[in-house]
Structure 1
Amino acid sequence: MLVDEVRRTAPKVISEEQREFYFRNGYLLLESVVPVDWLRRLRAATDEMVERSRPLTQSDAVFDLEPDHTGADPRLRRVTSPVDQHPEYWRYARDSLLADIAADLVGPDVKFHHSKLNFKWARGGAEVKWHQDIQYWPHTNYSPLTFGTYLYDCSMAQAPLGVLPGSHEGELYNLYDADGSWTGSLSDQDAAALPAEQTAYLPGPAGSVTIHNCRTAHCSARNESDLGRPLLLNVYSAANAMPYTANPLNSSHAGEVVRGEPARWAVHDPRPCLIPPDWSGGYTSLFALQKKEAR
């Protein structure tokens, strides 16, 4: 749905003011909206995932490890597609208020695309450089949006998500370097030209949800605090947004309609989108790409 079409249906979870804020700025922060029971279940599932990572000595298709990860002191950067690793994550993506909020923002027919669990581990959790999401997984329109759930309190000291208000209405940046290699982030020149002083940082108590549009420029700093910052990310879109490249973080649930009905017609935004590398043969992590690690 186009924004004007979405406006014709009253939101069921968020307010009209919150919805208009999202349309205008390309992001939204909803503080303490996730019920305590969901947090308890998600934390327990996350503890299980950390335990599963202990025997590993290098990253694999599920676990992206910090270079100094050990069994005695596990340090994770990401769990890939958590909805396929533990049933509680999929129940949350499908059954919680997240999908209802997505319907308030993109229209009543909503599809799931992918998920990831980024940890931002204490005392050195990796930086995420400025980037936009949609160049990783282009769709026929720009309705896709990412929900981030803070499983624990996140203060400014823990390097919360930072977004550039209004950037979803601006240009899409080239995420290849001068040699034609995919970096997954803005070039140093493009990043330096951003009005970084306008960055909105989104800390929040446990159970807070960040939302950003797929075109919104965003980043997060290295976490130098003594507290980790696990952020569970779920990506949804309008049902009429059709991906036309391989999903870099594919899931058995990709394309599943979680609210409303499947689309009969695809909607095409006339604005072009950068094409990423062919992810069909596999995908390393965003962190590895941005750090240019050999994987």
Structure 2
Amino acid sequence: MFSKTDAEFYKENGYFHAKQVFTSDEVEAMRGAVEAIIRRAAETKYDKNHTWEGDYLGDEDVRKLVLKGFHDVHYHHAAFSQAALHPKMAEILRGLIGPNVMLHHSKMLVKPPEKGAAFPLHQDYPYFPHAKHTMLAASVYLDDADEENGAICVIPGSHKLGPLPHVGRYYLDHREYPISKATLCPAQKGDVLFFNYLTIHGSDANRSSRPRRNVLFQYRDPLDAPTVNTHFDWGMGLMVTGENADYFEFRNQLNKL
């Protein structure tokens, strides 16, 4: 049961760890769907390595590491659309965003055993800036995660800093924001980590013999308008709870793409 105390924690710290939102059966359904996507993609031009690149990694390191990521997974398999609309998710989202919640996009991120790439610390804001900053991520853990296999880390309260300059729009300067500066958020499969898109977060490499599979849903208030016409595509717009009072303007924006 999501409480007022939970909402206050999120407001103060910029993140909230919800335990056992999904059952083992629901997690297994999403795991199977993830494997099916990877298997189908391997036979197409869409099979790419999404490892972050930059001066924090040498070329040799980049070649060794792997990160599999695919957007709009709720169009690939019903397990993800069911997860995005799950009653437990909707209850928490109403407490964090308000009565009206829209799905912005979804994606999966897979760090394979022993060579899963790190995510340097960053904010999600540069990718899809919005006026009221209601945007948040809900990262669903499909595996137990700890320091060894690259659990997500956050800097509590960093959302209060507002938008920060990023290196090439992708990540914060690793000399000023090393991963060691962040708080590890270990989790069990079925848990969900919610964090505001201004909250600084990232994860270390997967050095274990276990995979680290996550599905991420990005949500916002439908009246929180984008300030830049970017990351605005056909994978968004599903209402999770409440109504979209700005639907016709939203449709006009989509029609212009």
TM-score where L is the length of structure 1: 0.73
Q: Secondary structure at the match of 1:231?
A: strand
* Superimposed CA distance per residue, residues 104-132 of structure 1 (whole angstroms, 9 cap, x where no aligned partner): 11111111101110111111111111110
Are positions 1:91 and 2:82 aligned together? yes
Aligned residues: 235
The one of 238, 244, 249 equivalent to 1:256 is: 238
Contact 2:148–2:207 under 8 Å retained in 1: yes
Q: Secondary structure at the match of 1:79?
A: strand
Task: Give, in whole Å, the separation in 2 of the partners of 1:251 and 1:64.
Answer: 21
Q: Secondary structure at the match of 2:102?
A: strand
Give 2:149's aligned residue.
158
Task: Give, in whole Å, the separation in 2 of the partners of 1:237 and 1:17.
Answer: 21
Are positions 1:225 and 2:208 aligned together? yes
Task: Give, in whole Å, the separation in 1 of the partners of 2:104 and 2:195.
Answer: 15
Q: CA RMSD in A?
A: 2.4
* Superimposed CA distance per residue, residues 144-179 of structure 1 (whole angstroms, 9 cap, x where no aligned partner): 110001112112211100000000001421124xxx
The AA in structure 2 aligned to 1:222 is A
Residues 192-271 of structure 1 mapped to structure 2, 5 A cutoff: 196-197=180-181, 199-248=182-231, 250-252=233-235, 254-264=236-246
Contact 2:114–2:208 under 8 Å retained in 1: yes
Task: Give, in whole Å, the separation in 2 of the partners of 1:114 and 1:92.
Answer: 13
Task: Give, in whole Å, the separation in 1 of the partners of 2:90 and 2:183.
Answer: 24
Task: Give, in whole Å, the separation in 2 of the partners of 1:230 and 1:170.
Answer: 30
Contact 1:77–1:126 under 8 Å retained in 2: no
The AA in structure 1 aligned to 2:185 is L
5+ residue gaps, structure 2: 52-65, 248-255
Task: Give, in whole Å, the separation in 2 of the partners of 1:22 and 1:106.
Answer: 11
1:239–1:171 CA distance, 2 compared to 1 (3 A): closer
Report deviation, 1:27.
0.5
Report deviation, 1:97.
2.1
Contact 2:129–2:227 under 8 Å retained in 1: yes
The AA in structure 2 aligned to 1:258 is V
Are positions 1:43 and 2:31 aligned together? yes
Q: Secondary structure at the match of 2:226?
A: coil
Residues 124-163 of structure 1 mapped to structure 2, 5 A cutoff: 124-163=115-154
The AA in structure 2 aligned to 1:262 is N
Task: Give, in whole Å, the separation in 2 of the partners of 1:132 and 1:47.
Answer: 28
Give 2:173's aligned residue.
187
Task: Give, in whole Å, the separation in 2 of the partners of 1:249 and 1:161.
Answer: 26
The AA in structure 2 aligned to 1:107 is G
After the TM superposition, list the runs of 4 or more consecutive aligned residues in structure 1 that deviate by more than 6 angstroms.
Answer: none
Q: Secondary structure at the match of 1:65?
A: coil
* Superimposed CA distance per residue, residues 2-53 of structure 1 (whole angstroms, 9 cap, x where no aligned partner): xxxxxxxxxxx41222111111100111122212232122122112112213
1:116–1:44 CA distance, 2 compared to 1 (3 A): same
Task: Give, in whole Å, the separation in 2 of the partners of 1:47 and 1:259.
Answer: 29
Contact 2:154–2:184 under 8 Å retained in 1: yes
Task: Give, in whole Å, the separation in 1 of the partners of 2:191 and 2:71.
Answer: 21
Q: Secondary structure at the match of 1:191?
A: coil
TM-score where L is the length of structure 2: 0.83
1:65–1:189 CA distance, 2 compared to 1 (3 A): closer
Task: Give, in whole Å, the separation in 2 of the partners of 1:183 and 1:142.
Answer: 18
* Superimposed CA distance per residue, residues 236-289 of structure 1 (whole angstroms, 9 cap, x where no aligned partner): 11222112333437343x122220111359xxxxxxxxxxxxxx99xxxxxxxx
Q: Secondary structure at the match of 1:14?
A: coil
The AA in structure 1 aligned to 2:223 is N
Same amino acid, percent of matched pairs: 26
